[in-house]
Amino acid sequence: MKNLLLFGAMFIATTSFGQGLTENFDAVTAPGLPTGWTTSNASGGDAFETGTSANANAGGFWPVPAHGQFAMANDDVCNCTMTTVYLTSPSMDFSTATGMGLKYSCVDDGTYGGNPHSVEVSTDGGSTWNTIYTHTFNPNIVWEDVTVALANTDNQPDVRFRFKYDDGGSWATGVAIDDVVVEALPAVEVAVSGVNLVRYAALNANSVLSVDVTNLGANTITSLEIDWNDGMSHIQTINTNIAPGATTSVAHPDAVTYAAAVERTINVSINAANGGPDDDASNNNGQTLHNTLSQATNKAVVIEEGTGTWCGWCPRGAVAMDYMVSTYPNDFIGIAVHNGDPMTVTAYDNGADISGFPGCNVDRVLLDASVSQSAFQQYYNDRVNLGVPANIGATVSGTGSSVTIDASATFYTPVSSANFRLGVVIVENGVTGTTSGYAQANYYSGGTTAMGGYESLPDPVPAAQMVYDHVGRALLGGYSGQAGSVPATITDGTVANYSFNYTVPSTSTRANMKAVVMLLDLTTGEIVNATEVSIAEAGIDNIDEISLEVYPNPASDIVNVSFEAEGDYTITITDLAGREVATQSLSNLTGSQKIAVPTNDLNSGNYIISVATAGASYSQVLVIK
C-alpha cells in the first residue's frame, strides 16, 4: 500500500496563489512566516512561528521528529498561554475552482493536556469562519498526514483557511504544521488506511474484520465493495457515509473464523467505490495476520513508567502505579523506569526512550503515553482481554545472592516467521536512600489537587520520608530480550525455555525483589505477554509470593490484610516520615488469614503498610481517603 499523502520537501513557497497553494516553510528565515501568512494569539504574546525540531524541543518536553522547517505553536518554549492561537493562510481565488481540498502534515501532542488543533475556513475575507476539521490526538508523537475537504468554497473568490491551537490553559506542549498543499480533489478516491482484526483469537470465534477507509476525494462515499481473502474471496458491497477528508472504520459482514489452530494472511482490497472504480487503485489494499489458539491464554498488561526523583509531577505516576498494582494484582505489572537519579539503570532508561516525565510505555505498543490513574485504568481495560500466542512461566532457584530464573513460553498457535525473545526485568520494592538524590521533587505540595497525600508533603519530600516501589533494577537479556531464547519456527505446543542468572547486589533486599519475565516480539517491539515471580530465597516465606492482598485501597475506616500464614507476624502502618501510626502483633497463625486493621483515626494521605515475619517482610503503599 502506498504511503498516503506523504509530501516531499521540494514544494516551493509562492505568493501567487491562483486556485491553490503549496508551502513547506523551508524558504523563510525562522522564526518568520512566509509571505501572506499571518498569526495571532488572542491572549497576546507568542503565536505560530517557523522553526525546526531543535527549536521545538528546546523546552525539553516535546520530541518532534525532524521534518525540515515547519510552523509551530509551542507554549512549552515560550512558557506562555496559547488558548486561542491562529495560523492563517493567504487569500486564494476559487472563482473557477470546485472540489478543493487541503492536505498537510502535523504533530499534535496531547501528552500534557490541551485540545487537539482544528481547521477553519472563511469565504468572506476572514470575517466569518467555520470549523471544518478537528484533529484526534495520536498517543505517539509522530508526523501524521491529513486531508480536509474545503467545504462550501466552490467558485468563491476569497478563500482563506486557518489552523487553530488551544492549550486549554494547561501545561500543554504544542502543534506543528508542515507540507501544506491546496489542490483540487478527485471526484471519487478512497484509500485503505488500516486493517483491524484481532491477531490471536479462540477456535471458532467470529472475529470482525474492519477496514479504515479514508475518503481522499471530493464526493461523499456512499458504498464500497470490499473483499478479504485468505485464499478464498469474501466480497461484500457495504453502504457507507464517508464525507470528504474523513476516515471511517467499515466492518465487513463476513466474520473471520477457523476451527483449528492456524496462522493466516488476510489480504484486503477495495474493488469499487460508489458503484465504480476510484481514481487511484494503488492505495486500495491492505494486509494483516490472524492466528487461532488451541487453548485459552492469559494476558498481563505491562506499564513501564518513566520517572525520576527530580521530576515534580512524577508523584502522579507513583500514585497511579500503586493503585493499579493493588487493584489488579494478577494481570497488571508495573515497573518504574528511573531517569537521572540514583535508581537509574542506564540501559533501561535508554531503551524505554521516554521523553516526557512522567510518561509511560504500555506493553511497548503505546509509547511515551500520558500518566494518571484514569489513563492507566484505560490502558489496562483496552489490553487485558487481548488474545496472546503463549502463556509465560517462571521458576526461581539459588541461595544467598545467586538467583536463577528459568523462564518459559508455551505457544498455542503456529507462527511461521517468529521473531520472539524472552527477557527478564528485576524489580525491587521498598527502596530507600539517604542522599539528596532520593528526595522526591513534589509540585503537588500545598496544592488543592488530591494526589495520594503528596499535596500535604513538602517540595521536595526529604529522602528520609520516601520509599520507592516497583523500581526497575536490572535487565537480563537486554532491553530487547535474549537472542536465541525462542525458535524462529513455532508450532502449536512449542515450549521455549531459557535460564537467566542474576546476582543480587549487597545494597538490595532479595525478599523484596521480583523477576518480570517477558515475551518480546522484535518485529513490532511489543511485550506480547509477561508474568512476575518473587525471587525470595527458597525456604524463606515471601508474603507477596503467597498472594498478600490489601483492600480496600484507598481505605477509610478499615483496611483488610489477607495472606497465607505460618508463624508469627507483625502488621505495621507508618507515615511517609517513618513514624509508626498503627501496629498489630499476631502469633501462631496458620492458613488463610484476613486481618482487619482500623484506619479511622488516620488522616487522609499516603502511608506504608508492612507485614513482617521471621526473615521476610513486604511493604505496600496504603492510601487513606
More confident residue, 28 or 218: 28
| Per-residue pLDDT tens digits for 137-153 | 887 788 999 989 898 99
| Domain span at 259 | 190-293
| Per-residue pLDDT tens digits for 281-325 | 999 999 999 999 999 899 999 999 999 999 999 999 999 999 999
Residue of 221, 197, 228, 231 lying closest to 272 (CA atoms): 221
Q: Phi first, then psi: what are they for 104, rounded to 5°?
A: -160, 165
Burial of 206 from C-beta contacts in 10 A (0-12 / 13-18 / 19+): exposed
Taking each helix axis from N to C end, the angle separating 315-327 and 373-383, rounded to the nearest 10 degrees, works out to 40
Number of domains in the chain: 4
Beta bridge partners of 606: 623
Domain membership of residue 208 (yes or no) is: yes
Same domain, 341 and 411: yes
Domain membership of residue 1 (yes or no) is: no
pLDDT at 616: 64
* Residue 551 belongs to domain with CATH number: 2.60.40.3080
Domain membership of residue 315 (yes or no) is: yes
Q: How does residue 592 score in pLDDT terms, banded at 50, 70 and 90?
A: confident
Residues 454 and 445 sit within 8 Å (Cβ to Cβ): yes
Burial of 91 from C-beta contacts in 10 A (0-12 / 13-18 / 19+): middle
Residue 7 has pLDDT above 50, yes or no: no
Residue of 36, 24, 10 lying closest to 93 (CA atoms): 36
- The enclosing H or E element of 78 equals helix 75-78
Distance CA 69, CA 180 (A): 12
Q: pTM for the whole thing?
A: 0.72
Tell me the three state secondary structure of residue 236: strand
What percent of the chain clears pLDDT 90, i.e. is strictly above it? Answer: 67
pLDDT at 391: 95
Residues 282 and 2 sit within 8 Å (Cβ to Cβ): yes
* Residue 272 belongs to domain with CATH number: 2.60.40.10
Domain membership of residue 11 (yes or no) is: no
Last residue of a domain, one of 507, 534, 561: 534
Residue 14 has pLDDT above 50, yes or no: no
| Per-residue pLDDT tens digits for 221-245 | 999 999 999 999 999 999 999 988 8
Residues 44 and 78 sit within 8 Å (Cβ to Cβ): no
Same domain, 402 and 270: no
Domain membership of residue 3 (yes or no) is: no
Same domain, 510 and 366: yes
Domain membership of residue 540 (yes or no) is: no
**100 Cβ contact list (under 8 Å, min separation 6):** 19, 20, 94, 149, 150, 153, 154, 159, 182, 183, 184, 185
Q: How does residue 588 score in pLDDT terms, banded at 50, 70 and 90?
A: confident
Same domain, 150 and 48: yes
Q: Phi first, then psi: what are they for 12, rounded to 5°?
A: -110, 125
The gap between the terminal CA atoms of the chain, to the nearest Å, is 53
| Contacts by 483-486, CB closer than 8 A, 24 or more apart | 483/421, 485/407, 485/421, 485/422, 485/423, 486/409, 486/418, 486/420, 486/421, 486/422, 486/519
Same domain, 82 and 218: no
Beta bridge partners of 531: 517
Cell of 293: 489458539
In the chain, the amino acid numbered 620 is Q
Residues 164 and 48 sit within 8 Å (Cβ to Cβ): no
Same domain, 219 and 341: no
What is the largest distance, in Å, between two alpha-carbon atoms of the chain?
Answer: 92
Domain membership of residue 14 (yes or no) is: no
Distance CA 123, CA 516 (A): 59
- DSSP class of 65: P
Cell of 121: 475556513
**484 Cβ contact list (under 8 Å, min separation 6):** none
Same domain, 122 and 213: no
Q: Which of 346-355, 440-449, 580-589 shows the lowest per-residue confidence on average (mean pLDDT)?
A: 580-589
Its sign, for the CA torsion 384, 385, 388, 394, is: positive
Same domain, 497 and 386: yes
Same domain, 253 and 270: yes
Average pLDDT over residues 168-187: 87
Same domain, 101 and 153: yes
Residues 214 and 273 sit within 8 Å (Cβ to Cβ): no
Last residue of a domain, one of 262, 293, 324: 293
Same domain, 109 and 86: yes
Domain membership of residue 45 (yes or no) is: yes
CB burial readout 233-264, b (16+ within 10 A) else e: ebeeeeebebebbbbbebebebebebeebebe
Last residue of a domain, one of 501, 534, 567: 534
Q: Which of 83-97, 171-185, 256-270 shows the lowest per-residue confidence on average (mean pLDDT)?
A: 171-185
Residue 157 has pLDDT above 50, yes or no: yes
- DSSP class of 461: B
Same domain, 369 and 502: yes
